[in-house]
Amino acid sequence: MVGVDREGVAAGRPQFVTGDPFTLGATVTLDESAARHMRVLRLGAGAVVGLRDGQGSIAEGQLVVLSKTQAQVEVTQLVHVAPLPPVHLLVPVADRDRMLWLAEKAAELGATSWRPVLWRRSRSVSPRGEGVSFQAKVRARMEGALAQSEGAWLPQPFPEANLERAILAAPPGDRVVLDPAGEPLVGAASPAVRPPLIIAVGPEGGIERDELEQLRGAGFRSVCLGPTILRFETAAIAALAMARTWLGRESHPEPLEDA
C-alpha cells in the first residue's frame, strides 16, 4: 500500500476478510483475531472498514459493536469483482515456513487454486507443511495477504495429494510444468499461455524423471523461467507473476447495490 491513492469501495480502509458471503445492509460478525486487530488500530463504534469475503465481494461497512471476542460491522456499500482468468498452482509439499510464505504471495498475485503435491523428494523434508492444521494456517496466511493487497478472490485451497491424484484432479486447460530444460514460459518464440492455466512446480532437488514423464503423459509441457535454477517458492511466484502479466486482464468492480 505504498505511494498510490486508490479509488473504489473500501480502498485505503482497514481491511478484514470474513470467509463468509455477505449482503448489503447485513451485519457481519468478525472473529477474535479481527477484533484484536481493531483494538490495536484503536477503532471504535462508527469507524469505517473494508470487508472482503474472498469470493469476489468487496464492501465498506461501519463498526457497530467491538468486544474482546468479536466485532460486528454493518455493510453499507457493496461491489462484486469478476474473477481473473484462472491460473491453478500445483505446489510441492515442502518446508512449512517457505510454503506459508508462498501461500501469501499466491494470494497477492491472484492464484485461482492451490494444491500441494507430495513429490518423491517431498518425503525427505522435515518439518514439512501438510495435514489439517497446516491447511488452516495456509488459509489464515492467504486471508491476511488478501486483506493487505486489497484483492477480491482467495485461492481455493485443496489438501495435499500424491502426483497421480493431483493430475486426476487438475482441471482441463493449458498445462505446464516448470523444468530447466523446457522452453521459455513466455516470449515471442513461446506458445501463448491460455486460461485456464495449470502450473506444476516441483520440489527442492527437482522432479524425478519418471514423475516428469507422468506429467507429460497427462498433457503438461515443460517450460522454464530463465537461465538459473530457482527455489520452489521463487519459481512458483515468478511463474504466477509472468502468467498474470501475460494474460493481462484487469478485473473491474461492478456495483451490485448502492448504499
Q: Looking at residue 253, what is its pLDDT?
A: 44
Identify whether the C-beta of residue 96 lies closer than 8 Å to the C-beta of residue 180: no
Identify whether the C-beta of residue 151 lies closer than 8 Å to the C-beta of residue 56: no
The Cα–Cα gap between 91 and 180 comes to 16
CATH topology of domain 15-81: Ribosomal Protein L25; Chain P (2.40.240)
The overall average pLDDT reported for the chain is: 90
Give residue for cell 447485513.
Answer: 26
**pLDDT tens-digit profile of 168-208?**
999 999 999 999 999 999 877 778 889 999 999 999 999 99
Residues facing residue 49 across a β-bridge: 61
The Cα–Cα gap between 127 and 97 comes to 9
Domain boundaries in the chain? 15-81, 87-247
What confidence tier does 6 reach under pLDDT thresholds 50, 70, 90? Answer: low
Identify the DSSP state of 191: P
Q: Report the range of poorest mean pLDDT among 47-56, 77-86, 249-258.
A: 249-258
Grid cell in block for residue 45: 463504534
CATH 3.40.1280.10 correct for 87-247: yes
State how far the alpha carbon of 144 is from the alpha carbons of 5, 14, 58, in Å: 21, 12, 15
What confidence tier does 26 reach under pLDDT thresholds 50, 70, 90? Answer: very high
Q: What's the whole-model pTM score?
A: 0.88
Radius of gyration of the chain (CA): 20
The Cα–Cα gap between 164 and 117 comes to 9
CA angle 162, 166, 172 (to 5 degrees): 165
What confidence tier does 259 reach under pLDDT thresholds 50, 70, 90? Answer: very low
The Cα–Cα gap between 87 and 109 comes to 10
Q: Looking at residue 11, what is its pLDDT?
A: 75
